[in-house]
Amino acid sequence: MNLAEMKQASQCLVLEAAAGVAEIQSRLYALGLYPGVKVEVLRFAPAGDPIQIRIGSTLLSIRKQEAVLIEVEAVK
């Protein structure tokens, strides 16, 4: 499952971030999106893009095209 497929108000763990796309992977890691990190999906913009997420106390908005590159596992 990727981050773009998660539902609003759900939590997940990052398994892999933009594997094979070094430039994007580097930027996502710098933002705190790397394997093992817990992410909370807060909301989607009215058109579905961007997606607002929370990592710890940090709020981020990422584009859907980047969110599909982030493999996650749902946390209950």
Question: Can you give the residue range of the structural domain that contains 62?
Answer: 3-75
**What is the CATH classification number for the domain harbouring 10?**
2.30.30.90
- State the pTM of this model: 0.88
The Cα–Cα gap between 50 and 61 comes to 6
pLDDT computed for residue 45 by the predictor: 93
Are 17 and 28 in contact by the 8 Å Cβ rule? The answer is yes
The Cα–Cα gap between 1 and 30 comes to 22
pLDDT digit string, tens, across residues 14-45 = 999 988 889 999 999 999 999 999 999 999 99
Q: By 3-state DSSP, what share of the chain in percent is helix, strand and coil, each rounded to 5?
A: 20, 40, 35
Instruction: Supply 5's token pair.
Output: 């497929």
Beta-carbon contacts of residue 22 (< 8 Å; ≥ 6 apart):
none
Q: How many domains does the chain have?
A: 1
pLDDT computed for residue 25 by the predictor: 92
